[in-house]
Amino acid sequence: MPCWLRGLYDKLQTMNLIDTHAHLYLPHFKDDVDRVIENAANKNVIKILLPNIDLESARPMLELCKRYRTQCYPMLGLHPNSVKDDFRHQLSTLEQMAGDNEFVAIGETGMDAYRDTTFLGEQEASFITHLEWAKIMGLPVVIHSRETMNKILAIVKSHSGNGLRGVFHAFSGSVEQALEIADLGFKIGLGGVVTYRNSGLEPVVRAVDLKDIVLETDSPYLTPAPNRGKRNESAYLHFIAEKIAELKDLTFEEVANVTTENACELFNLKPE
């Protein structure tokens, strides 16, 4: 291969992106999921990680990952907003799936006190179970921490060790909390909110080392500007990378390269 062509090829390789959090198996995508995955590939989003929500979502998630084995990868978990009186049954049934499927992470798990605090105690118990799964299975854990950041940090600290690692998904905390998370060896998951005016995330992005950041869309939610208000999809990940590059005074290629390396290392993915 000529040197000039090799240089171009290498540059294109550094533009690859990984969406570490997208719910492409939801009904929002039932009519065009194939096109959505093609759109992502056309925008250099080479891998998409799918967090689970509950027992009902596990089957469509796994089926989508089987159809797109080299692009979509499943996680094992029970979303905190799905934690109800029957959460122990759901967890037991989900755990049985671990022997028959290959998961890249435990999640999405954590706690959420935004709208309803009825099951916060059960959410905490569920979260701790997920942390134990992560340590036993040697997988990273993907953490949802809406309105519960301080509580989540305390739990993670008390259950650290045995290689516990992961990502704080849809991070919305302070600079101090972000640096604390990085010191614990966890990654900061940044998505569409970083593109919103008055998001409050600019100082966080500037303060956190790029090696501690992974990118995510949380599709179909949290659509980045300029498409805010529309259904989100993995192809829009480049808007997030561009905003982070702007805030950190870096090139798009630098952000794409480092965050992709971060995701590959954290989730034990093979780079392209």
What confidence score (pLDDT) does residue 4 get?
Answer: 37
* Domains and their CATH numbers in the chain: 12-267 (3.20.20.140)
Neighbours of 269 (CB within 10 A): 17
pTM: 0.94
What confidence score (pLDDT) does residue 1 get?
Answer: 44
What confidence score (pLDDT) does residue 190 get?
Answer: 98
Q: What is the dihedral of CA 239, 241, 246, 252, to 10 degrees?
A: -110
One DSSP character per residue, 139-172 reads --EEEEEET-HHHHHHHHHHT--TT--EEETT--
Among positive and negative, which fits the CA dihedral 169, 237, 262, 194? negative
Among positive and negative, which fits the CA dihedral 194, 198, 204, 206? positive
pLDDT in tens, the chain (272 residues): 444 344 444 544 558 999 999 999 999 999 999 999 999 999 999 999 999 999 999 999 999 999 999 999 999 999 999 999 999 999 999 999 998 899 999 999 999 999 999 999 999 999 999 999 999 999 999 999 999 999 999 999 999 988 999 999 999 999 999 999 999 999 999 999 999 999 999 999 999 999 999 999 999 999 999 999 999 999 999 999 999 999 999 999 999 999 999 999 999 998 76
